[in-house]
């Protein structure tokens, strides 16, 4: 498991990490727009199920000095939040009635 | 049946003597009016260009494109820590001084001096010209006469403002007035975790200000953002603000809040419960170490308190949330029918993963709502431009929209009157 992106305790989420453990909000938003509802529902179901444990795990590290696998887990939590709008309210990747509008996040806290 | 008492005149609109007749939106579609706004408003008012945290060290700088005034400015922290602003133009042959790759894109960094990319003229951080390439080739040139063109620059509560007038008619604090300067002691400086959004919007700058200075639209336009039970209750109730304030050209609307953690789960989204966060911010508010609540905040003394949105003329908004964070909006006009919208969120920096996750949902919620607002504006702009209609009824919850358009008109009238007098 040397190639694992996530801590071993979260190996059940490993299948989602390559697609969704993305560093920036912009990348996560683009991934949302290009994903199917089935893909997002699967991510949402899997990560919400482990979210409490994942937050407790990440809380053990200082934010500015997180091991790479914990950081990937944080980013998976961010992606869970990113897909929550399509899954919980919109029923589609894009915000309804927003045409070609975009609102880019150019500066965000790291991590 | 009003939930909150109205002023003795019966309405906020009459209280502030703004007239109750239907309003024209010609000022938002007329290219001629926009040309006047450039001179009458944006070259005369104090404009916020950012915060001191964006200049962390001596020599830190950033540029700001002010297309509405057809200029670019560079804001820099000098050797003694003082903040200065200059027109971003080389004194030699007018090249833009500070830029990277794309001349029209904003940039930031840290430097000991500014060097023009064209012929290598150099300027100290205080704007003085320090080096001319092949100086001996020039004719009676004294470098002391060729410093950068300075722009009036003042800082209030960590917010950096510039004024493009030769001589501003008022100091920054006089311009801001007592309603805004009452916020002086609010701990803006503690909230340095910054999220910066930008969006080009196909609508006049005042239309987006209007969208965010009334919440009459919120239960309708944003209905689908919340569970059906919540949306139905919100639409049934409608929106009422407990307080609207006006001070000179500036405005404030204050709203009551909710304690989401006390709501039944069917009124919340699962993600809000999971992350203890949402549009109104993290449920677990940070300790902002108020010795005393700043006098200007929560004027109606709501408990729970939602937010205060201060609309600082012409194009700057500071919105302070009851949950211990704040955001700013800027609306930078580029034409009569277009502007650049900037939204910046500020939190006390997250110390734990859990806090950081809560910020992520608050920030994404802002983005989801903002998208809906921005796209609706394009739908408004295009039909205003049809001129099928020329009078629009505004309700009392839209009192601040009325005030903005009146003030913009007043400033343009003043400018035209002064111009006419100068010609006499």
Cα torsion A13, A17, A20, A21 to 10°: value is: 120
What is the pLDDT averaged over residues B86-115?
A: 96
CB contacts of B225 in chain A (<8 Å) are 89
B357 dihedral zone (left: phi>0; alpha: psi -120 to 50; beta): alpha
pLDDT tens-digit readout, B109-128: 999 999 999 999 999 999 99
Q: How confident is the model at residue B175 (pLDDT cuts 50, 70, 90)?
A: very high
The number of residues in chain A equals 111
pLDDT at B1 over 70: no
CB atoms < 10 A from the CB of B213, how many?
A: 23
Cα torsion B175, B179, B180, B186 to 10°: value is: 150
pLDDT at B254 over 90: yes
Query: To the nearest whole angstrom, how far is the Cα of B194 from the nearest Cα of chain A?
Result: 6
Report the pLDDT value the prediction gives residue B424, as an integer from 0 to 100: 85
What is the pLDDT averaged over residues B221-225?
A: 80
CB contacts of A107 in chain B (<8 Å) are 194-196
Nearest CA to B350 out of A107, A64, A75, A7 is that of A64
Nearest CA to B280 out of B367, B362, B358 is that of B362
Query: What global pTM score does this model have?
Result: 0.96
**Cα distance between residue B320 and residue B329, in whole Å:** 12
Residue B349's closest chain A neighbor by CA? A109
CB B246 within 8 A of CB B254: no
Contacts A–B by Cβ distance under 8 A: 107
CB contact under 8 A, B224 and A105: no
Nearest CA to B228 out of B280, B279, B268 is that of B268
pLDDT at B291 over 80: no
Residue B197's closest chain A neighbor by CA? A105
Based on the structure, what is the number of domains in chain A?
1
Residue B361's closest chain A neighbor by CA? A81
**Cα distance between residue B404 and residue B415, in whole Å:** 17
Stated as kind and residue range, the H or E segment containing B231 is helix B228-237
> Which two structure tokens, joined as six digits, stand for B191?
């909230």
CB contact under 8 A, A102 and B275: no
**Cα distance between residue B112 and residue B123, in whole Å:** 9
ipTM of the complex: 0.97
**Residue A89 near chain B (CB below 8 Å):** yes
CB B120 within 8 A of CB B130: no
DSSP 8-state class, residue A94 = S
In a domain, A98, yes or no: no
DSSP 8-state class, residue B211 = H
Q: Are strands B108-110 and B113-115 parallel, antiparallel or unpaired?
A: unpaired
List the alpha helices (DSSP H) in B45-171. Answer: none
pLDDT at B302 over 80: yes
pLDDT at B233 over 90: no
Q: How confident is the model at residue B387 (pLDDT cuts 50, 70, 90)?
A: very high
From residue A110, give the alpha-carbon distance in Å to each of A22, B104, B356: 12, 27, 10
Walk me through the domains of chain B, giving residue ranges and CATH numbers: 12-39+177-423 (3.90.380.10), 47-167 (2.102.10.10)
pLDDT tens-digit readout, B306-364: 999 999 999 999 999 999 999 999 999 999 999 999 999 999 999 999 999 999 999 99
pLDDT tens-digit readout, B310-323: 999 999 999 999 99
For B315-351, b/e burial (b = at least 16 CB within 10 A) is: bbbbbbbbbbbbbbbbbbbeebbbbbbbbbbbbbbbe
Report the pLDDT value the prediction gives residue A2, as an integer from 0 to 100: 60
pLDDT (tens, 9 = 90+) of chain A, 111 residues, equals: 468 999 999 999 999 999 999 999 999 999 999 999 999 999 999 999 999 999 999 999 999 999 999 999 999 999 999 999 999 999 999 998 888 788 999 999 999
Which residue from B196, B271, B353 is facing A106, i.e. has the nearest CB?
B196
What is the pLDDT averaged over residues B165-189?
A: 96
Please indicate whether residue B289 or residue A109 has the higher confidence score (pLDDT): A109
pLDDT at B2 over 80: no
pLDDT at B268 over 90: yes
Report the pLDDT value the prediction gives residue A98, as an integer from 0 to 100: 85
Residue A28's closest chain B neighbor by CA? B364
CB contact under 8 A, B274 and A109: no
CB contact under 8 A, A77 and B357: yes
CB B179 within 8 A of CB B253: no
In a domain, A105, yes or no: no
CB B239 within 8 A of CB B395: no
Q: How confident is the model at residue B179 (pLDDT cuts 50, 70, 90)?
A: very high
pLDDT at B295 over 90: no
What residues make up the domain containing A45?
A: 9-90
pLDDT at B253 over 90: yes
Report the pLDDT value the prediction gives residue B238, as an integer from 0 to 100: 83
pLDDT at B281 over 70: yes
CB contacts of B368 in chain A (<8 Å) are 85, 95
| Range 13-42 of A in CB contact (< 8 A) with B | 25
């Amino acid at each position: 498991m040397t190639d694992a992106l996530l801590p071993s305790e979260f190996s059940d989420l490993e299948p989602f990490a390559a697609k969704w453990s993305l560093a920036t909000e912009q990348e996560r938003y683009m991934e949302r727009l290009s994903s199917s509802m089935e893909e997002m529902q699967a991510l949402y179901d899997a990560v919400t199920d482990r979210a409490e444990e994942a937050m407790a795990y990440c809380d053990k590290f200082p934010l500015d000095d997180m091991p790479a696998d914990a950081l990937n887990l944080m980013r998976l939590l961010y992606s869970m939040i990113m897909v929550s709008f399509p899954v919980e309210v919109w029923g589609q990747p894009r915000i309804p009635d927003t045409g070609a509008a975009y609102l880019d996040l150019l500066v965000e806290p790291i991590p | 049946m009003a939930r909150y008492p109205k002023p003795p005149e019966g309405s906020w609109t009459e209280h502030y003597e703004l007239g109750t007749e239907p309003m024209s939106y010609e000022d938002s579609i007329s290219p001629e009016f926009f040309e006047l706004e450039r001179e009458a408003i944006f070259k005369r008012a104090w404009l916020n260009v950012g915060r001191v945290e964006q200049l962390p060290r001596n020599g830190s700088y950033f540029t700001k494109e002010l297309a509405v005034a057809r200029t670019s400015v560079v804001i820099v922290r000098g050797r003694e820590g003082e903040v200065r602003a200059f027109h971003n133009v080389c004194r030699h042959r007018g090249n833009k001084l500070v830029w990277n790759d794309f001349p029209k894109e904003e940039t930031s960094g840290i430097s000991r001096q500014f060097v023009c990319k064209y012929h290598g003229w150099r300027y100290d951080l205080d704007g003085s010209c320090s080096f001319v390439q092949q100086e001996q080739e020039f004719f009676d040139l004294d470098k002391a006469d060729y410093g950068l063109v300075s722009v009036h620059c003042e800082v209030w509560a960590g917010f950096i403002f510039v004024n493009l007038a030769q001589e501003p008619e008022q100091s920054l604090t006089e311009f801001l007035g007592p309603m805004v300067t009452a916020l002086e002691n609010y701990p803006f400086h503690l909230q340095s975790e910054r999220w910066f959004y930008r969006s080009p919007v196909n609508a006049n700058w005042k239309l987006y200000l209007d969208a965010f200075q009334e919440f009459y639209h919120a239960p309708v336009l944003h209905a689908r953002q919340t569970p059906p039970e919540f949306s139905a209750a919100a639409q049934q109730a409608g929106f009422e603000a407990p307080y609207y304030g006006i001070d000179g050209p500036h405005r404030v609307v204050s709203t009551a809040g909710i304690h989401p953690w006390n709501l039944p789960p069917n009124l919340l989204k699962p993600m809000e419960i999971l992350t203890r966060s949402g549009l109104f911010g993290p449920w677990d508010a940070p300790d902002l170490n108020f010795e005393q609540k700043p006098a200007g905040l929560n004027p109606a003394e709501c408990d729970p308190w939602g937010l205060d949105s201060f609309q600082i003329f012409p194009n700057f908004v500071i919105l302070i949330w009851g949950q211990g964070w704040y955001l700013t909006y800027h609306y930078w006009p580029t034409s009569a029918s277009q502007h650049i919208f900037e939204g910046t969120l500020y939190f006390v920096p997250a110390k734990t993963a859990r806090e950081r996750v809560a910020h992520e949902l608050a920030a994404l919620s802002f983005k989801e709502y903002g998208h809906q607002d921005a796209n609706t504006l394009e739908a408004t702009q295009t039909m205003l431009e049809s001129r099928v209609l020329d009078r629009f009824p505004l309700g009392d919850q839209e009192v601040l929209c009325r005030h903005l358009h009146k003030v913009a008109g007043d400033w343009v009238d003043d400018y035209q009157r002064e111009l006419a007098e100068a010609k006499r």
